[in-house]
Amino acid sequence: MTALVTHLKQQQLLPTTRQQYVSITNRIGNHDPVEWLKGQLHARPPIGTVLPYRAAVKHLLVSEHGYTEDELKLLLPKAKGRPTAFRHALHPEALAVYHEVVDGCPEPSRTLLHLLPKTGLRISEACGLERNSIQTIQGQRVLVFRGKRDKERVVPLTASAEKTLQSYLSTLESARWLFPGNMGSPITPHAVRKHTRKMAEKHGDLAGLSPHILRHTYATLLVARGVDIKTIQQLLGHESIETTSRYLHPSISDLSRAASRLELE
C-alpha cells in the first residue's frame, strides 16, 4: 500500500481524501479491484458514494498496477448511482438559532463554527487555517490558504466574519494555527463535528446539522442575494461548475413563491 500512499501525496490531495481512498482500497482486500467496483455499482449506492469508490480504485490501479489514464477509461465502469439525498440548507430562522446555540461551545470550536456559514469553507480547510491565513489584499480582509488539490484559495471576509475573528484573536495566544487543538496541532474535523451532532440532537430546527450543511447554507445565501453561479464556484473552490450546481437547490420558500404565482392568474 506504500505505492498508493506515495501516489496520493503526489496528487496533492487533502489528508482526509487520502485517508478515505486508502480506507476504501483496504476493503477490496484480495479481490480484483475492477470486479469489486462493479459489484459495488450493482448495488446502486448514492452517486456521492460511487465517485470516491471509483476514484480510489483508479488511484490504486495507477500506483500499484501501472495502468495509464487511457487504459483506465476503457477498463473502469462509468460512475452511476442514485442521486445524492437532498440536503437542506439552514433557513434564516434556523441560522439565527444556530448562531445562538454555537455561543455555548468552547473555543476554538465556537469561533470556527460561527465562521463556517459566513465563509463556505470545507471543514478540513477551516481546521487547517494558520494565523497568517488572515491577510489584506487590495484593502479587503481575506483568508488565503491551500485548498483541495493544494490549490491556493482566497475567500473574502464579510464584516460579520471579520468581527467574529477579531474578537477571537484578541484572546488567542501566540500560535501557528488559527484554531489550535492538542499537542501543537490544529483542531480536528472530528472534534468540530461532535459539536454539530450534539446541536442537531438537542434542537429540532438544526436536525441533520453538519459542517457540510453550513457550506450549503453559505451557497444558498449567495444565491438568494443574486450572486451568479460562476462567482459562487470561485468562492466555494470548485473545479467544476457542475459541482457548484448541486449546492444550489431552491428553498421551500422559493418553491412556495413560485407556486403562489398561480394565484395571480
Q: How many CA atoms lie within 13 A of 261 on its CB side?
A: 6
Would you state the cell numbers that stand for residue 149, as one nine-digit string?
488539490
* DSSP state string for 59-93: HHHHHHH---HHHHHHHSPP---BPPPP-PPPPHH
**Cα–Cα distance measured from residue 25 to residue 59, given in angstroms and rounded to the nearest whole number:** 9
Q: How many CA atoms lie within 13 A of 88 on its CB side?
A: 14
**Cα–Cα distance measured from residue 46 to residue 7, given in angstroms and rounded to the nearest whole number:** 27
Q: Which residues are catalytic?
A: 122, 148, 212, 215, 238, 247
**Cα–Cα distance measured from residue 118 to residue 111, given in angstroms and rounded to the nearest whole number:** 11
**Cα–Cα distance measured from residue 231 to residue 215, given in angstroms and rounded to the nearest whole number:** 15
